[in-house]
Chain A
Amino acid sequence: MKIWQVLKSALVAVLLLLLCVPAAQAFCGFYVAKADSKLYNQASQVVIAKDGNRTILTMANDYQGAIKDFALVVPVPVVLQQEQVRIGDAQIIERLDSFSAPRLVEYFDEDPCEVLRPMPAPGASRGPIPAMAPAPYQEDSLGVTVEAKFSVGEYDIVVLSAKESDGLETWLNQNGYQIPSGASPLLRPYIRQNMKFFVAKVNLAEFEKGGYSFLRPLMIAYESPKFMLPIRLGMINSTGEQDLIVYVLSPKGQAEITNYRTVNVPSNAEIPVFVKAQFADFYKAMFNTSYNREGKKVAFLEYAWNMAGCDPCSADPLNQEELKKAGVFWLTPNGNNNVFVTRLHVRYSRDKFPEDLMFQETSNQQSFQGRYVLRHPFKGAVSCEAGKQYQKSLPARFEQEAQTLAKLTGWNMQEIRNKMKQLQSQQTPFWRSIWP
């Protein structure tokens, strides 16, 4: 039986479909494509709704193996009882993903002989959740205590505390969770920090009864000053790179990582029009280039915006009901949706990210979005002097766009120029060269 999942359930080799969303007008341009989590074949997604010490954490499961083999072991700061665990809604994570994903925006140049139009510009209540009391079971000879044991939906869950990592490893093995070698030393630091272990596996009967085709996300609610995500366990068997997308929802402002640098992804770059057909490739290449340039040891900020104040928004903002499903617990029925969304994209590997991720909420209200701009040149006939100047300026602009693209993605400059020429020759009628 092959099991071991930590915040990262395994992978999908999703072929990249370019998502040409029906054009929605926003930011006085048109969103034509987005770079959401489907781009990466090993992306885990976590939603953290946090206000002070109160946290609701949602872990998305994109596990693709045999359901009977699935298991999840997550170190958690406190013992969780049944009422603190819920089944989440996978669609909500998709909504958050598509809402905050980096965007390709398309503009069409106006007739340079006409006057330009101005553009519109873009634009905080709390409620408690009940605290839970633990009810520990008896400790066994291995030093492992089953603090809680319950079922939620299709998951059978135990919450364990342990005295020694060897004992915990043995316990997990004896109870049908096969632990990969090398797990014990990695479990020890969490035991020593007095953390508990949230262990979930799938109850096959329930799963089949529910008629689900995939595993639904798990949500946990707890109160603790610890604002961290344990990534070390997830790297137990892997030296490769893993993608993690964290959505932090907070009433306060932007979240950042305190023990690694948080860097904005390159944004607001004007790139050649042909990228529209290959935005997914573009974003992946650009992300990879930035990741390498920063020494593979930073977290990237892809989106930061207050959902109450995005006007226009990159997609329909989540309504109160959806926000509740995402774990947001501080909204009042008739108040505004004061939820600041921070989307952090961390590509981590064992050698560059030795420590678990530590976060902090800040009151930073600065908005940020990964946004890439296509500007279609004006194709109509121009007769005025300004129009002629405009046409003269185009080659320099195209060259600049090509250079920006090459710099962002590391793509070959000559190939970019060729692609641009191809597109231009396809689009520009032949007579325009003599009858502008």
Chain B
Amino acid sequence: MSAEFFSHTSKHSLFFCYAMLQDARDYQILFLSGFLILGIATRDWTLQFDLMAVVFFTCLLTQALATWYFHRPSNPSYSEIFASLKSAVITSLSLCLLLRADSYFTMLIAANLAILSKFFIKFQGKHFFNPANFGIISALILRPDAWVSPGQWGDDWWYGLLFFGGGSLILKKVGRWDTTVAFLLTYSCLEAVRNVWLGWTWDVFLHRLMSGSLLLFALFMITDPRSIPNARVSRLIWAALIAIFTFILRNQFFVSEAVFWALFAVAPLTILLNFIWPASDFSWLQTTNLESLSVAKDEEPLGIAQHTI
């Protein structure tokens, strides 16, 4: 009896240790915080710490309250609610990195709607808007004082490498390389064709692609395995569509936040694509190969919509 008990607990603790290292969200938090610190330290951002505090506080509080409220029937424990905050931290970091505003209220709206979108806008239990993207677009539509700064990272090659390094580690874990590659490839091809047609020299093309903001978007935002299509073929089509939309918005309508609008517009297609090419939903711990453990199955006991950015 005691031996059995021992083996059971050690199996559990082993799993938890493993899971801590395996959960891609931990890496995501690590990298995004790193980028934020790096950005604040080395780039000339107009970041205000009080606004960032509002974002974090609103995201975490909304996530905790919504988790509790929407999952009352299963009577969630504190630890379960606490575990769900991980994705709220990622949303907060993304909003801090990308969204700029001139008032607390705008940040509050963005953070609040970003988290609530996961609970309210769902189809068959799956949310299809990237929460941070939803927050950004909501702020841009609803508030006059929100903006994004596409030029904020500049075009230094070592930032590109850094984003690629961090992004590839996470993408390897979640297996969503295809999305980034499809997006960047489609977008580069379109920009290349435009470049040739206009007759610009190739440094114009490279300069347009080396934008740190574009890479960050391609590696971290459109690869959210919880909200993007499940089947590979759907993801390729989906990512290519975002690239095409971005290209049109940027070059034809001169929209500086083109990538975010493109993702927002294409996101609902996830439902259709998942219907045409069905595949199983992503679970954060499916890559751990420990599905046999009952804990792994309990990963989403509340059906909480988790996500990367």
Contacts and interface: CB of A to CB of B under 8 A. Distances in A.
A261 interface: yes
Nearest to A193: B198
A261 B152 CA distance: 5
B150 A259 contact: yes
Contact of A260 (B100, B151, B197, B201): B151
Interface in A244-264: 253, 256-264
Interface stretch (B17-25, B204-212, B216-224): B204-212
Nearest to B149: A256
A362 B147 contact: yes
Contacts of B201: 354
A86 interface: no
Given A259-B211, A354-B207, A365 B102 contact: yes
Nearest to A259: B151
B208 A366 contact: no
A225 interface: yes
Of the four ranges (under 10, 10 to 19, 20 to 34, 35 or more), the interface on chain B belongs to 20 to 34
Interface string B102-145: 10000000000000000000000000000000000000000011
Interface stretch (B3-11, B153-161, B239-247, B262-270): B153-161
Of the four ranges (under 10, 10 to 19, 20 to 34, 35 or more), the interface on chain A belongs to 20 to 34
Interface string A341-374: 0000000000100110010101111100000000
B300 to A, nearest CB: 39
B150 A258 contact: yes
B207 A355 contact: yes
Interface stretch (A3-11, A184-192, A318-326): A184-192
Contact of B102 (A253, A257, A258, A259): A253
Nearest to A188: B199
Given A189-B199, A192-B197, A364 B102 contact: yes
A260 B154 contact: yes
Given A188-B198, A258-B149, A355-B204, 11 more contacts: A189-B198, A192-B199, A193-B198, A257-B151, A258-B151, A259-B208, A260-B154, A295-B156, A297-B154, A360-B150, A364-B147
Interface of B: 43-44, 46, 100-102, 144-147, 149-156, 197-201, 203-204, 206-208, 211, 253-254, 256
The 9 closest A-B pairs by CB, nearest first: A261-B154, A363-B145, A354-B203, A189-B198, A188-B199, A362-B147, A263-B44, A360-B256, A258-B256
Interface of A: 165, 185, 188-189, 192-193, 225-227, 253, 256-264, 295, 297-298, 351, 354-355, 358, 360, 362-366
19 contacts: A189-B199, A192-B199, A225-B253, A226-B254, A258-B151, A259-B150, A259-B207, A259-B208, A259-B211, A260-B151, A261-B43, A261-B44, A262-B44, A263-B44, A351-B203, A355-B207, A363-B101, A363-B147, A366-B102
